[in-house]
Amino acid sequence: MVLIKRKKKLDRYSMEMGKDSCPSYATERVFVGPTAYDIPIDSEGFVPTWALASRFQQLLSVHQREEDLSDSDTYIEELPSRLTPEEVKRWWDNPLSCDIKGLDTSDSDVYDVSFTKNERLRNIHRRIAVITEDKREQARIRREISKAFNEEELEEMTADQSLIIQTIPDGGMAAGIYMRKQWDIPVPIIIYEEGTTPDSIVHEAVHHLRTMNSRKGKGIAQSTFPVTKTGEVDMTAITSMSKEDLDRIQNVEEATTTMEAMLRTKPDRRPSGYLDDVPSSKSPRTLYKEDMERMKGMNYTRVRGKRAVDKVISDFDATNIAEAMIMSRESAKVSAKKLYSAKKKKE
């Protein structure tokens, strides 16, 4: 399920953000011995960097990835974006069998952590693939995420398979999307439009944090989407839901995520497009400013960690964003009450 941080109104299932970016892609089948692999390819027949990073993070543990990134003994001499499935199949079968220059080598562009000298942050960010054309943009994204979340949150967000971040030149009508773990997306992916605002960067990362174990039992502060025991989106549950309940899930997820992103950021020159969905005579900018001051006071101090979670739970109903009608005919706070009252009845 793709969640869209909108710049304008979008259909619920719109998610077009560039022809070779996720979620839609072609594959080519190759064999390593008797084992068949359907490897993603771009429009020119090469394996996209996001697919290589996803495979690397899916198959190897955090410790194995750390060791592999510190070692540079064997290379495939082509750049990651210029490898065909046939050329990469040995690595795809076992990423420890060789290295892809610029991906899982000590001089990796994708896992570059030169933006900071803080050793703990370097170790954390070494687990996140950030795929950009501009190294300054990669550093900016990493810095914004580091400011918005404390180190304990970042540790949880990057544990196990972590996440992948990719930028594209033009997101169309979307500033960013978060693609949850599901059957064809083994590692969560965030796609940003290049140059997107800090609010957008943090918004999509909050979606990811809301899926973490520490959020279980936290009501509106946890992801509204049903998941399986393995952490994937529960498509069986999704497909059995009514359109009204699906709209409510999206409504609550986006409104509460918008609130939490506001808590974690300084005032943004271009705040969330979801404020456009608040029925009010006031401008979205005024609604944004009122919420920022109501939640954080006039000094706009960032709120992170447990304090951010507690504020979402206790103060959501009092915010302007709680009145948003995002792909729904009712406000987000009404949607939340209906969703969670129905859940309690089932329990």
Q: Tell me, what amino acid is at 217?
A: G
Handedness of CA 6, 7, 11, 16 (dihedral sign): negative
Side-chain-side CA neighbours of residue 269 (13 Å): 3
- Residue 220 backbone class (left: φ over 0; alpha: ψ -120 to 50; beta: rest): alpha
Q: According to DSSP H, which parts of 26-183 are helical?
A: 49-59, 62-69, 85-93, 119-125, 135-148, 151-157
Is the N-terminal amide bond of 23 cis, ω within 30° of 0? yes
Mean pLDDT confidence for 241-267: 94
pLDDT in tens, 10-33: 333 233 333 344 556 799 999 999
| pLDDT surpassing 80 at residue 346 | no
Q: What is the mean pLDDT of the chain?
A: 88
| pLDDT surpassing 50 at residue 9 | no
Lowest mean pLDDT among 19-28, 55-64, 154-163, 184-193: 19-28
| Cα separations in angstroms, 155 against 21, 120, 124, 128, 234 | 27, 9, 6, 11, 25
pLDDT in tens, 181-206: 988 899 999 999 999 999 999 999 99
Q: State the Cα–Cα distance between residues 66 and 56, nearest whole angstrom.
A: 11
Mean pLDDT confidence for 224-231: 86
Please identify which residue in the block is written with the tokens 């705040």: 271
Q: State the Cα–Cα distance between residues 169 and 177, nearest whole angstrom.
A: 14
- Tokens for 290? 């009122």
